[in-house]
Structure 1
Amino acid sequence: MQQLLIQIRQFSTISNETEELLHNCFEQVVYPKNHQLVTEAAVCRHLYFVEKGALRGYYTLDGKEITHWFGFENDFVTSFHSFITQEPAVENIQLLEGSILWSISKDTLTSLFNNHPEIERIVRIAYEKYYIRLEERYVNAQFKTAAERYEQLLNDSPHILERVPLGQIASYLGISQETLSRIRSRL
């Protein structure tokens, strides 16, 4: 819980009362590697904070898994569209490692928003950070070559290469595993 509170304090100063509220509203959950945190067609009812572990968000298209994001320590993760709209998810979230997460339900979070504007501000900032990452990923996919995307991954997030299978990294970069191997051999 300490990591979660440290991360929240980076977004905004919080009162002792708010800290206590958050402490009482988040629940620690521990899951093994390969656990499906969210499955497509189910409604995502929780927002998670990753204390320890690694996750990926992926879609399934024609029987093929397409990874579109990774989450690691100190990230907030959920199927955002499903969580916000309470409609069925179109993505899956899988744990890549055994993980320790802190979970809060949509209903609890909404209640906190209604009664504590300070918490609404914190979550807005977390959503803004998520949106910025999403936009950066979109721009990279549109305007950078596969080699440039891989080099940026190396520079910005080298830990991904140590913790994620190459096939999932290739999918994340929008290339085949063979293309990724060729790019890696040239660098």
Structure 2
Amino acid sequence: MLKFPDSDIASLVSPDAIRVFLQHVTRLDLPENELILSPGQQQQHLYFIKKGVVRSYYKVFGNEWTNWFAAEGNPAFSTESFLNGNPSTEFIETCTPVSFYSISKQEFQQFLNEFPNLYQLAFVFMHRYMSVAENRMYGLHVLTAYERYERFIETHKNIVNRVKMQHIASYLGITPTHFSRVRKEYAQRG
């Protein structure tokens, strides 16, 4: 069954919409460290995470920089590729074994046309994504590494112990060595 992480979102989805949605999705199970999108590819499917954690990242000069994490009840997609139809600039990879519901872009659009009230759900997801992105950018420019880690724990408590530490470090914009010091300080204050 498709489950959403908070009751406000769940209230936007009718049982009929879930039934029709489940008729059009494919269940996809992938192991840890499996790429589902690479730069240059166009994302043709939208993924809803049933179980597991996914991340988006960029490779710059041989370094990986994590852009976002997504876990149960959330979609996983490249905004630029899936929504705008452009080749992806990012990698999307599984951080844990993951179970997805996958739906093609065309079927998803037909689904939204059949259930137009779900545009509100799409808006909720986009609003959430934009809010997280804006807060992250603020943090990268204004907060200390320690403060960014505190904020990460608050906003990502459902995944903090499920992903590799170097992925969290890259998300926070710091080196693994600096991240180790930040974690130690956090543990001492805790």
TM-score (norm 2): 0.88
Alpha-carbon shift at residue 103 of structure 1 (Å): 1.0
Cα separation, 2, equivalents of 1:7 and 1:24: 23
Cα separation, 1, equivalents of 2:16 and 2:159: 37
Q: For structure 2, which runs of at least 5 residues remain unmatched after alignment?
A: none
Cα separation, 2, equivalents of 1:17 and 1:160: 31
Alignment of 1:96-135 (within 5 A): 96-135=95-134
Q: Bigger CA drift: 145-154 or 155-164?
A: 155-164
Cα separation, 1, equivalents of 2:14 and 2:139: 38
Q: For structure 1, which runs of at least 5 residues remain unmatched after alignment?
A: none
2:2–2:18 contact (8 Å) kept in structure 1: no
TM-score (norm 1): 0.90
Specify the SS of the correspondent of 1:74. coil
2:3–2:10 contact (8 Å) kept in structure 1: no
1:71 counterpart residue number? 70
Identity between Structure 1 and Structure 2 (%): 29
CA RMSD of aligned residues (A): 2.0
Alpha-carbon shift at residue 151 of structure 1 (Å): 1.6
1:33 counterpart residue number? 32
Cα separation, 2, equivalents of 1:34 and 1:28: 18
Structure 1: which amino acid aligns with 2:48?
A: F
Alpha-carbon shift at residue 20 of structure 1 (Å): 2.3
Alpha-carbon shift at residue 183 of structure 1 (Å): 1.6
Alpha-carbon shift at residue 155 of structure 1 (Å): 3.1
Specify the SS of the correspondent of 2:166. helix
- 2:3 is the alignment partner of 1:3: yes
1:50 counterpart residue number? 49
- 2:146 is the alignment partner of 1:154: no
